[in-house]
Structure 1
């Protein structure tokens, strides 16, 4: 569906050239939700703007639905762009227009008949859950409702690709989850290919099939989300995964516990897939005779399975502790004995 081949974007400045996107090769399958994650300055916003030619590449190919976007001009480019819509962090709504009028705007440009336009707007209002708010103005809407308007407007012309530029960054966590659920529902109902950029691993974890990690204009790691959670290779990826698996308040509590002089080992246990649903701790206690002090635990759901992390303090004699660590290894769960510098 989308193929990037040796794609680069260089911005010339008075202080020298800045390479925002650096020789990227990437394939995104039709109908998947693909995430691109990176910190500010990584190049992810430039990358997504290259996909619909809001930025022109310095070199390389952008192939979408078998067309090289970089070769298109004029009416051919405008026609290809109609199949690629975008939603933004700050909504970009027309503040003097109602919900209905905002959603209708691209249909007016496409010169749809009044009957067809009204029917399509009604359909989209229902799809994004804004029934009853048709005549409200943006200033009268919550942040989540504004983004729903933005999504409906982006879907007006039946695009094949939806680009999401930090679409949930301005929203609170609960509203973020509701928008992510809406995007997932749209992906299933319409078979839409969604490319989503973010700096939040929670967003990637919740709805993406695959993820690419960007740093300094390059993709440093890419793969299925569950695989990336299980075995992140690059330091940048490990930082993002820790947003979910090692919340700072948990790590601070562990560091404080270690300062007390208690030498009982603290172990981080990572579960994957069906193992995340199994009573491994109960079996550990019964089999090895150790006492287990659970410090923190969480099972995270991804699109393709569960990934769980559990921080526990094991208490017992040395033989029991060795038996416990050996038992966990035999269960094919990842274990890491925490140290004071963690």
Structure 2
């Protein structure tokens, strides 16, 4: 388990003091994929550097599986950091070394004998899907393959925690999804705790169990990913959620839909978890005399379940539409009339 208590990091910039991390308190469970999201300058990169001992906090503590990383130094810190590995946005590979030699590098530093290094590399190459590329150099690899080497290298010392610093930001969307799928697979196979920082809500939605939203060095919102998608509270969180759910709530979209469907009411439904799999509309049609037209909708999947939105055109009397909305809300489906500003 990872515990951050009253963590603060300040930097002196000229005559002013910059607070990069401001009184952060977090608990991350063993085997969890935990996301930290924020825009540039939010403090997330500094936070993750504190987690692996690259930065010392100004105050507060970091406890990883019972060991206070913030209280140790020298050889003891170097040993502890072998259990907290990291992968980076730009891969940080050794360009003069082959795939095998890159993965071997941390094992060399740790003094592992050659025979055991070769055996471990073979195992890791299979795990990350690079079999047959062991003798290639980084310049001969695609971006996704380079990141797979980075992941294999990070796993070489059998870490307990894997930190991901914007690990997919330099990749195209298809390659990003493949790397995220690999991280989920590693998490399930090895029971590895993964902490990742990103500015992309798609990454959070796809693989994280919980997420902390950072702004101005503070954690301004924290919760289960599915809950955050369902009911984001802070404005910054709503902007991040809009990266994935964008468009249906914009005034331009509502105006366009109203032009296409000028009668009745446009109603947005939000389905979360098991609700996304239930025949709610069938029940609605059977129980209420309203005319239903499906306008648009989509379902997104998170590690905790599905999150879906659906826009309907409901036709009927005011009383019939009101009763239909009450039925949906009783079924724990968020239903609201989309106002045309």
Length-normalised TM-score, structure 2: 0.95
**Alignment partner, residue 83 of structure 1:** 83
**Alignment partner, residue 274 of structure 1:** 274
**Alignment partner, residue 54 of structure 2:** 54
Question: Given the superposition, is the C-alpha separation of residues 131 and 248 from structure 1 closer, same or farther in structure 2, using an over 3 Å criterion?
Answer: farther
Task: State the Cα distance separating 1:172 from its structure 2 match.
Answer: 1.6
Which string of whole-angstrom CA distances, capped at 9 and with x for unpartnered residues, describes residues 98-120 of structure 1? 11111111111112111101000
Task: State the Cα distance separating 1:255 from its structure 2 match.
Answer: 2.9
Q: Does 1:158 align with 2:158?
A: yes
CA distance in 2, matches of 1:185, 1:305: 17
CA distance in 2, matches of 1:200, 1:336: 27
**Alignment partner, residue 209 of structure 2:** 209
Which string of whole-angstrom CA distances, capped at 9 and with x for unpartnered residues, describes residues 111-158 of structure 1? 211110100000000000000111111122111111100000000111
Which string of whole-angstrom CA distances, capped at 9 and with x for unpartnered residues, describes residues 163-191 of structure 1? 00011111122211111111111111111
Which string of whole-angstrom CA distances, capped at 9 and with x for unpartnered residues, describes residues 246-295 of structure 1? 34797643332335792532211111221111122233233323333323
Verify the 8 A CA contact 2:164 2:196 in the aligned structure 1: yes
Which segment is superposed worse, 123-132 or 306-315?
306-315
Verify the 8 A CA contact 2:201 2:243 in the aligned structure 1: yes
**Within-5 A mapping of 1:66-215:** 66-215=66-215
CA distance in 2, matches of 1:137, 1:248: 46
Verify the 8 A CA contact 2:248 2:254 in the aligned structure 1: no
- Where do 5+ consecutive residues of structure 2 fail to align? none
RMSD over aligned Cα, in angstroms?
1.8
Task: State the Cα distance separating 1:51 from its structure 2 match.
Answer: 0.3
Task: State the Cα distance separating 1:335 from its structure 2 match.
Answer: 1.2
CA distance in 1, matches of 2:75, 2:332: 57
- Where do 5+ consecutive residues of structure 1 fail to align? none
Task: State the Cα distance separating 1:82 from its structure 2 match.
Answer: 0.8
Verify the 8 A CA contact 1:250 1:296 in the aligned structure 2: no
Q: Does 1:301 align with 2:301?
A: yes
**Within-5 A mapping of 1:210-289:** 210-247=210-247, 252-258=252-258, 262-289=262-289
Verify the 8 A CA contact 2:247 2:253 in the aligned structure 1: no
**Within-5 A mapping of 1:6-25:** 6-25=6-25
- SS of match in other structure, 2:340: coil
**Within-5 A mapping of 1:295-334:** 295-334=295-334
